[in-house]
């Protein structure tokens, strides 16, 4: 049975194309109230008093403030620094202060408007330049930087900036909480990490964790935006439900979602590269700074991923990467597909094109001379995996995109009088899959399978299907490992009362790590059926059904489980960032072609080719979909998606003026997998976010002979970059 | 409150509603037709697209007061009719990978169905143009273009 590699239809696909899939806002409960959040609306200060202006029927409205919190007033994450509701100190504009619930949303809207917060303002930190409080810092060093720079024929400096990026999942954040007759809480929600939500709600309500049950509803996109913030909303819904003794639903309006929830960390990267005349990279000195916003959230882990990815897939005999996350008065930035790597890779790949121009050599040739090769060691000291050949990925991309001919055609076209200039650019990069360093060992994820009398196998894992294909790829992995048809395997609803903690649905770990655990649980199931139910070797699906019946008749349902443990001999030093940083890396080379109108600054991406080695592809349709979607989000990151800040808040929190790519902006994207059939599957979800923006900006710079170093490359920035110095 | 007669998914109904009630809320809350989704509430994302008298509109921007005598069709209505063209489109979306998280999909199905009704063999440019009001954050559109193209192929 070879299920892996087959273009099988997604498990929940039919429900989605017919409109039958049930998202959180489609659910109602008897006696349901709606919840709303009143926010600080000033970037810093001290809350003195909350006034309730007359008008709304206050006796009918459920009101929750920090004083109503029965447990600890904190949304626990890496540090317990972020309150669930403001008690006194306001650290950013979107901090929640008061929660309200009522059955009628119009009454609720009037109540929100009638609340006045009396605040003594405090100074706010509204730029990276003004930030002095370091939330987190890390350094990665190798070789002798000073000697490397001193021995270089040429030293090239550059500074690169990336803006905040909003996830803009099309289903806004949404949670529903209900208290059962026994006082236990059930929370339904749109989320990626049920086992982040459960301890958060338990902490805030002062309940043992087993009194909180979290159930994922069909989730309309996440991209990291539903990693940590849903815990906050779940706590709010739960507080209201407990006080009201009625179920409470909170669905963010689009504007509130865009203003209040996390975004990609803005970044500023300064590179200094020493290179020999013949194009050998000798030294890299990097200062990588992220804007963390007002609380720590996941910033230290975003930073470590950014720092580890900053050198890119190249041989650097000498380097020093210094990374910092600064505290500012913006709403905390958080997880977003790529998690620090897109910012770092953007800076390096655009800088390498600058180095190539300074040297007068072809940027392809510069990469070819310096890419890691089999047997090489990365900056962290981790060797390049056997079977991987980054040069082959580059060559495949040059070939698939017809790079040389394309570039010649652009050059020829640009000699004409047309105001539209064309350019082609590329980026070579990698992305480490799974949690960084010892993260997976600390998580010690669990996953399980349950075999019923009918021979059907249920997947018990907390991996949330958020559109990426978790349900489908997991079923394919299990089906193949058990040699049973795909239709006989299905995932259980992600419900903390049913599934074990398989870790969060993040970090490109769902296929590689959790899928690996499921394959292990499947092998154990086969062994048990061989030993105890006469399953022959090899077996047919019919044999499996007979053995399933025999086993369950005698013993009841068969449950097999697996728990993660790191391969023997793995080392990781989280202080120096040395050792086995990731279980595996995916390798890629992306090629973009653009046409830019030098009169308007408008850029059109006319063609895009994405080539990658992600090991064995589990489902070519969902895998291609991950690349298509990641590239499209990368086009937005590169060209359109501009968060405009005003007094610490997002001024353009609407889909009318926060522009994401539409079909009119997105050409068909060509995807190539250089797949090793024999190699294990590696993480894929985040990879496409990393290389798209630098490929596009390198194409733009090639078209214009410009030095665009800041994204999004809005038309006005493009025009500015083309002005004579 | 006003009284309106309209057709919802082929069924004639008389309703009493406030004239400024959004068609989207009427469908989801009064008619329990939750296949139509709200993504932005300002007509930008297209997740709430339905057909009014055969043309795609964003139901979050349509007040009920405008709909006396109108025929409204949602994704549920299209699916229930069992139209072979629609089924081909839905199957093509499944096979090509044109749905991921699925929240935009009902709107995409409605818009693409209207396109295929109007143009039997749309070009890539026509497909990209027709879908430009339906934002999808997952698929990068490529698989949706492919699905619409496949749905438009002559039945063998």
Instruction: State the pLDDT at residue A2.
Output: 83
Q: Which of A11, A15, A17, A222 to mutate to test the interface with B (most CBs of B within 10 A)?
A: A17
Strand partners, A51: A116
Check: CB of residue A254 under 8 Å from CB of residue B41: yes
Q: pLDDT averaged over chain A?
A: 97
Residue A44, both tokens: 């810093």
Residue A473, both tokens: 């790829």
Contacts of A622 in chain B (CB under 8 A): 97, 100
pLDDT tier at A1, thresholds 50, 70, 90: low
ipTM of the complex: 0.99
Calculate what percentage of chain A has a pLDDT beyond 90.
Answer: 97
Compare CB distances from A221 to B40, B75, B103 and report the shortest one's residue: B103
Mean pLDDT of the A601-606 span: 98
* B9 Cβ neighbours under 8 A, 6+ residues apart: B33, B72, B73, B74, B76, B77, B80
pLDDT tier at A643, thresholds 50, 70, 90: very high
In the 3-class helix/strand/coil scheme, how is A533-558 assigned residue by residue?
HCCCCCCCHHHHHHHHHHHHHHHCCE
Query: What is the rounded distance in angstroms from the CA atom of residue A27 to the CA atom of residue A22?
Result: 7
In terms of CA atoms, which chain A residue is nearest residue B28? Answer: A26
The answer to whether the CB atoms of A663 and B144 lie below 8 A apart is yes
Query: What is the rounded distance in angstroms from the CA atom of residue A635 to the CA atom of residue A697?
Result: 10
Contacts of A18 in chain B (CB under 8 A): 35, 75-76, 79, 90
Distance from CA of B130 to the nearest CA of A (A): 9
Distance from CA of A618 to the nearest CA of B (A): 14
Compare CB distances from A170 to B96, B132, B137 and report the shortest one's residue: B137
Compare CB distances from B39 to A170, A627, A664 and report the shortest one's residue: A170
- The side-by-side arrangement of strands in the sheet containing A89-90 is A89-90, A45-52, A115-121
Mean pLDDT of the A42-70 span: 98
Rounded-to-10 torsion of CA A110, A111, A114, A118: -150
Mean pLDDT of the A421-446 span: 97
Check: CB of residue A496 under 8 Å from CB of residue A187: no
Query: What is the rounded distance in angstroms from the CA atom of residue A491 to the CA atom of residue A511?
Result: 14
In terms of CA atoms, which chain B residue is nearest residue A466? Answer: B101
Tell the residue number behind the tokens 């990276």, with chain if given: A128
In this prediction the pTM is 0.98
Contacts of A627 in chain B (CB under 8 A): 140
Query: What separation in angstroms does the CA of A342 have from each of A633, A675, A690?
Result: 11, 23, 4
Distance from CA of A23 to the nearest CA of B (A): 8
Compare CB distances from A18 to B90, B100, B124 and report the shortest one's residue: B90
User: pLDDT (tens digit, 9 = 90+) per residue, A259-311?
Assistant: 999 999 999 999 999 999 999 999 999 999 999 999 999 999 999 999 999 99
Calculate what percentage of chain B has a pLDDT beyond 70.
Answer: 100
Helix (H) or strand (E) holding A567: none
User: pLDDT (tens digit, 9 = 90+) per residue, A97-129?
Assistant: 999 999 999 999 999 999 999 999 999 999 999
Q: Which of B95, B100, B125 to mutate to test the interface with A (most CBs of A within 10 A)?
A: B100
Check: CB of residue A23 under 8 Å from CB of residue A82: no
In terms of CA atoms, which chain B residue is nearest residue A166? Answer: B137
Instruction: State the pLDDT at residue A283.
Output: 98
Residue A295, both tokens: 């609380």
Rounded-to-10 torsion of CA A227, A590, A170, B128: -170
The answer to whether the CB atoms of A669 and B142 lie below 8 A apart is yes
* A489 Cβ neighbours under 8 A, 6+ residues apart: A456, A457, A458, A459, A475, A478, A479, A482
pLDDT tier at A677, thresholds 50, 70, 90: low
Residue A496 pLDDT exceeds 90: yes
Contacts of B134 in chain A (CB under 8 A): 663
Compare CB distances from B45 to A17, A18, A655 and report the shortest one's residue: A655
Give the number of beta-carbon pairs within 8 Å between A and B. Answer: 172
Instruction: State the pLDDT at residue A668.
Output: 94
The answer to whether the CB atoms of A220 and B35 lie below 8 A apart is no
Calculate what percentage of chain B has a pLDDT beyond 90.
Answer: 96
Mean pLDDT of the A150-156 span: 98
In terms of CA atoms, which chain B residue is nearest residue A670? Answer: B142
């Amino acid at each position: 049975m070879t299920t892996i590699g087959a273009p099988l239809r997604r498990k929940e696909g039919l429900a989605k194309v017919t409109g039958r899939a049930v998202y959180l806002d489609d659910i109602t409960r008897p006696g349901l109230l709606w919840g709303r959040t009143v926010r600080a609306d000033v970037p810093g200060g001290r809350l003195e008093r909350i006034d309730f202006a007359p008008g709304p029927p206050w006796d009918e409205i459920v009101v929750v403030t920090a004083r109503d919190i029965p447990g600890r007033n904190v949304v626990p994450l890496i540090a317990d620094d972020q309150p669930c509701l403001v008690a006194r100190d306001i650290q950013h504009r979107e901090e929640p202060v008061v929660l309200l619930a009522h059955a009628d949303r119009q009454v609720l809207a009037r109540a929100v408007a009638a609340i006045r917060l009396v605040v003594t303002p405090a100074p706010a930190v509204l730029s990276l330049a003004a930030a002095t409080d370091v939330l987190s810092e890390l350094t990665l060093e190798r070789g002798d930087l000073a000697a490397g720079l001193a021995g270089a024929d040429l030293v090239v400096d550059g500074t690169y900036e990336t803006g905040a990026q909003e996830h803009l999942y099309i289903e806004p954040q949404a949670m529903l909480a209900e208290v059962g007759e026994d006082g236990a809480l059930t929370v339904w929600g749109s989320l990626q990490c049920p086992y982040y939500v459960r301890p958060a709600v338990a902490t805030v309500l002062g309940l043992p964790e087993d009194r909180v049950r979290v159930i994922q509803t069909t989730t309309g996109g996440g991209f990291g935006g539903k990693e940590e913030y849903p815990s906050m909303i779940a706590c709010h819904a739960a507080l209201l439900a407990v006080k009201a003794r009625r179920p409470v639903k909170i669905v963010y309006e689009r504007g509130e979602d865009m203003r209040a929830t996390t975004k990609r960390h803005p970044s500023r990267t300064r590179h200094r590269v020493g290179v020999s005349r013949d194009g050998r990279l000798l030294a890299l000195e990097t200062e990588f700074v992220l804007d963390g916003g007002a609380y720590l959230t996941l910033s230290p882990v975003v930073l470590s991923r950014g720092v580890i990815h900053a050198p890119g897939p190249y041989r650097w005999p000498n380097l020093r990467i210094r990374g910092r996350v600064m505290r500012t008065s913006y709403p905390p930035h958080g997880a977003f597909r790529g998690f620090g790597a897109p910012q770092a890779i953007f800076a390096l790949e655009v800088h390498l094109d600058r180095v190539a121009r300074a040297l007068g050599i072809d940027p392809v040739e510069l990469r070819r001379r310096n890419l890691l090769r089999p047997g090489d060691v990365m900056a962290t000291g981790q060797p390049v995996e056997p079977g991987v050949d980054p040069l082959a990925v580059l060559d495949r991309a040059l070939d698939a995109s017809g790079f040389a001919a394309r570039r010649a055609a652009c050059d020829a076209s640009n000699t004409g009088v047309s105001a539209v200039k064309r350019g082609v650019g590329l980026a070579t990069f990698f992305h480490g899959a799974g949690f960084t360093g010892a993260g997976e060992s600390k998580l010690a994820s669990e996953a399980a399978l349950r075999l019923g009398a009918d021979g059907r196998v249920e997947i018990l894992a907390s991996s949330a299907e958020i559109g990426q294909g978790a349900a489908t790829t997991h079923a394919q992995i299990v089906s193949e490992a058990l040699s049973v048809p795909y239709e006989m395997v299905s995932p259980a609803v992600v419900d903390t009362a049913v599934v074990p903690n398989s870790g969060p649905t993040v970090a490109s770990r769902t296929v590689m790590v959790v899928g690996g655990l499921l394959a292990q649980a499947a092998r154990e199931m086969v062994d048990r059926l061989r030993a105890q139910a006469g399953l022959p070797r090899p077996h047919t699906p019919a044999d499996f059904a007979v053995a399933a019946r025999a086993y369950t008749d005698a013993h009841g349902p068969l449950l097999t489980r697996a728990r993660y443990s790191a391969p023997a001999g793995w080392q990781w030093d989280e202080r120096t960032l040395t050792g086995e940083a990731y279980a595996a890396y995916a390798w890629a080379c992306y090629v973009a072609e653009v046409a830019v109108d030098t009169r308007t600054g408008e850029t059109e991406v006319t063609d895009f080719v994405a080539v990658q080695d992600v090991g064995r592809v589990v489902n070519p349709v969902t895998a291609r979909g991950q690349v298509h979607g990641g590239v499209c989000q990368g086009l937005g990151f590169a060209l359109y998606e501009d968060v405009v800040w005003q007094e610490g808040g997002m001024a353009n929190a609407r889909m009318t003026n926060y522009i994401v790519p539409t079909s009119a902006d997105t050409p068909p994207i060509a995807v190539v997998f250089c797949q090793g059939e024999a190699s294990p599957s590696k993480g894929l979800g985040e990879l496409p976010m990393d290389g798209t923006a630098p490929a596009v900006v390198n194409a733009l710079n090639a078209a214009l002979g410009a030095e665009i170093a800041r994204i999004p490359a809005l038309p006005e920035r493009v025009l500015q970059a083309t002005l004579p110095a | 409150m006003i009284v309106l007669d309209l057709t919802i998914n082929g069924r004639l109904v008389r309703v009493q509603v406030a004239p400024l009630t959004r068609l989207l809320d009427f469908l989801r809350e009064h008619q329990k037709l939750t296949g139509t989704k709200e993504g932005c509430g300002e007509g930008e994302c297209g997740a709430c697209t339905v057909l009014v008298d055969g043309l795609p509109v964003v139901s979050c921007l349509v007040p009920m007061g405008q709909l006396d005598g109108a025929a409204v069709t949602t994704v549920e209505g299209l699916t229930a009719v069992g139209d072979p063209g629609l089924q081909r489109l839905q199957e093509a979306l499944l096979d090509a990978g044109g749905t991921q998280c699925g929240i935009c999909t009902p709107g995409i199905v409605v818009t693409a169905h209207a396109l295929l009704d109007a143009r039997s063999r749309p070009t890539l440019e026509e497909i990209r143009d027709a879908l430009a009001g339906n934002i999808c954050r997952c698929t990068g559109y490529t698989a949706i273009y492919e699905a619409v193209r496949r749905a438009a192929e002559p039945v063998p």
